[in-house]
Amino acid sequence: MTTANGPVMFVAAHPDDPDFLAGGTVARLVKEGREVTYVIVTNGNKGSADRGAKSGRLTAIREEEQRRAARVLGGRRVKFNGYEDGELEDTRALRRDVTREIRRWRPDLIITLNPHRTYNNFPGWHRDHRITGRVVLDCVYPLARDDLAFPELLPEFEPHKVPEVYAVQWEQPHLVIDITDTMDLKLEAIHCHASQVGDFEAVEVRMRNRAAILGKGKGYPYAEGFDDIVVPG
């Protein structure tokens, strides 16, 4: 696990991604004294199994659920970029918006989604997840670092070098983080996403099983898994 102690930024595609995919790690980092900011790229307005759901209302509900869940884990703030759920594209506007947030919050560590889809790596399945992960890596290097990228961001948002990125990875994680002490907090945060969780008991069983499988090789009762990307100086 990282030895840095500066701010952490979680860049996710949808409200609920941080809590489902890495909530135990977020809570652990907060307990270790790190300040965590969530940046949620889309508005999450397609995330409903209810065919009568109105997308504008769903956006407001999901933003509030995400704020509550972040508070449970000790997250400092949540920012929403408002891109359309399910329609994310790798555009200049998205790269500029993510670069701006990196330069604003100046993290030592970014946690984000995985840009790769394989049949066993569920966090890489969703198209918005893959695009978010890929854009974040492009912004870490070189866009947030180089002052000639997005000149319109200067002078307010000075370049920033991010030294390390954790990309959520379930298939063959390079980094397995013990979340045994924060598993209950993670479940409490997931519980906040009422619009996404129909049968919480079934979700809890699934989340405990997943965390147990990820921890097995290390002897941790519960864990989360990542690719740990150290950005060359």
Nearest distance, CB of residue 132 and Zn ion, angstroms: 8
Report the distance separating Cα 12 and Cα 40, nearest Å: 5
Nearest distance, CB of residue 170 and Zn ion, angstroms: 14
C-alpha gyration radius of the chain? 17
- Cβ closest to Zn ion, residue 13 vs residue 143: 13
- C-alpha distances in angstroms, 166 versus 131, 143, 144? 16, 18, 17
| CB-based contact 205:193 (threshold 8 Å) | no
| CB-based contact 42:128 (threshold 8 Å) | yes
- Cβ closest to Zn ion, residue 13 vs residue 165: 13
Using CB atoms, what's the residue nearest to Zn ion?
14
Nearest distance, CB of residue 129 and Zn ion, angstroms: 6
CA 215 to chain centre: 20
Nearest distance, CB of residue 12 and Zn ion, angstroms: 7
- Cβ closest to Zn ion, residue 17 vs residue 19: 17
Q: Which residues contact Zn ion (rule: CB under 5 A)?
A: 13-14, 17
| Per-residue tokens: 139 | 């912004």
- Cβ closest to Zn ion, residue 68 vs residue 127: 127
